[in-house]
Amino acid sequence: MADWIYVDNSNVFIEGKRLSAVKQGLALDIWDAFDNRILDNDYRMSFGKLYDFVAGNNKAETSRAMLFGSRPPKHDMIWDIATRAGFEVVTHDRNVANKEKKIDTGLVAALTRDAYRNANSGDIFTIVSGDNDYVPAVQQLREDGFQVDVVFWGHAGKELREAASKFISLDDYLDELRV
């Protein structure tokens, strides 16, 4: 049995900043933070702690841990830190409007390729994201007999939580995941 981990970095990081804003009293609740774009810009998540949380005690059984995100500025060390924490980093350029692109589809492409080319029966796939865009891939993999877990903040998309084999909330670990 092996673990396969796929992280949408911006999704988990930005939503962590939003949850931290609520916990810091900057927003009434997560929906107030969302509606009013309130973030705790001091919140930083540790890639190593996130990897440890998701992989648990089975790091030796992790076949692949991928982290997807936008290409940082030239001298930014963020992805070097993620690589040292154990992630294979995949970055894509932002579009001309400075919007993140290709992250969700890149993650799904890697996930499905690994599932159908490299995985064995009993392997566990974990997506660290709360975006309902992943629902079709999760449903298809589950229909084909794969276990697909979702790890994210409690306000992950309802459809994604329900489509997953198991949903694990990060809410209680906000401070433990902090740098």
Note whether residue 72 is domain-resident.
yes
- For 153, the domain range is 3-11+45-173
- Tell me the per-residue pLDDT of 119-132, one tens digit each, with 9 for 90 and over: 988 899 999 999 99
Note whether residue 36 is domain-resident.
no
Closest CA to 137 of 4, 2, 1, 41: 4
> Is 46 in contact with 177 (CB distance < 8 Å)?
yes
Note whether residue 130 is domain-resident.
yes
**What CATH number has the domain bearing residue 111?**
3.40.50.1010
> Is 129 in contact with 67 (CB distance < 8 Å)?
no
What is the C-alpha separation between 111 and 104, in angstroms, rounded?
11
As for how many domains the chain has, the answer is 1
Note whether residue 26 is domain-resident.
no
Check residue 149 and give left, alpha or beta (phi > 0: left; psi -120 to 50: alpha): beta
Band (58; pLDDT cuts 50, 70, 90): low
Phi and psi at residue 94, in whole multiples of 5°? -75, 160
Task: Say which residue, 91 or 165, is predicted with more confidence.
Answer: 165
Report the chain's mean pLDDT, rounded to a whole number: 91
Residue 2 one-letter amino acid: A
Note whether residue 87 is domain-resident.
yes
- Both tokens assigned to 138: 């999760």
Band (12; pLDDT cuts 50, 70, 90): very high
Note whether residue 33 is domain-resident.
no
Closest CA to 130 of 165, 108, 171, 161: 161
Q: What percentage of the chain carries pLDDT values higher than 90?
A: 70
pTM of the full structure? 0.92
Residue 58: helix, strand or coil by DSSP?
coil
- Tell me the per-residue pLDDT of 127-176, one tens digit each, with 9 for 90 and over: 999 999 999 999 999 999 999 999 999 999 999 999 999 999 999 999 99
Band (91; pLDDT cuts 50, 70, 90): confident
Q: At what angle do helices 103-113 and 135-143 cross, to 10 degrees?
A: 10
